[in-house]
Structure formats: structure tokens, C-alpha cells
């Protein structure tokens, strides 16, 4: 995880999902980092695609909790 990522969920097997910013275009995205044992590659997922794909897992609930968190007033 880097300073410009917020962890949404980390599964018991070590997979992790983050809200991040795509360095290419600065759009908000979901980063999925598979656990090391799986040998998978990190994936960048557009938020709309992430929420369209079943949106019932704990990683989806993590994003929805974050969206529902009140933004502090300045």
C-alpha cells in the first residue's frame, strides 16, 4: 500500500483491495493485490466495473462503507 491508497478490505488469505488513483489519468480506481502465494498480478479496476461485478463481497462493502462515511466540514 502507498500513501495515495486506502485499504478497503484484506481477506484472510492475504488478497487486498484499495481505493487508489490511477497515475496515468488521476481517476479513482480499485487496486486488487492478490496474495503472494497465488502468484497473481495486481489489477486496476474501474469503480463502476467493480461495483457491477456482484458487489456483494466484503471488498465491495468496504468501498460502500467508505462512500457512506461523512466528509468532515472545513
> How far is Cα 21 from Cα 18, in angstroms, rounded to an integer?
10
Question: Which pLDDT value is given to residue 38?
Answer: 86
Phi, psi of 62, deg, nearest 5 = -60, -45
pLDDT per residue as tens, the chain (74 positions): 555 899 999 999 999 999 999 888 989 999 999 998 888 899 999 999 998 867 789 999 999 888 887 767 66
Q: Decide the pairing of beta strands 16-21 and 43-46.
A: unpaired
The pTM of the whole model exceeds 0.75: yes
Structural domain spans, the chain: 6-61
Q: CA of 29: how far to CAs of 37, 38, 46, 56, 72, in Å?
A: 24, 22, 5, 18, 22
Question: Which pLDDT value is given to residue 74?
Answer: 61
Amino acid at each position: 500500500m502507498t500513501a495515495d491508497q486506502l485499504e478497503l478490505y484484506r481477506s484472510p488469505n492475504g488478497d487486498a483491495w484499495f481505493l487508489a488513483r490511477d497515475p496515468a489519468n488521476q481517476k479513482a480506481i480499485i487496486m486488487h493485490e492478490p496474495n503472494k502465494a497465488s502468484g497473481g498480478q495486481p489489477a486496476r479496476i474501474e469503480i463502476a466495473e467493480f461495483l457491477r461485478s456482484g458487489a456483494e463481497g466484503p471488498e465491495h462493502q468496504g468501498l460502500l462503507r467508505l462512500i457512506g462515511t461523512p466528509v468532515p466540514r472545513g
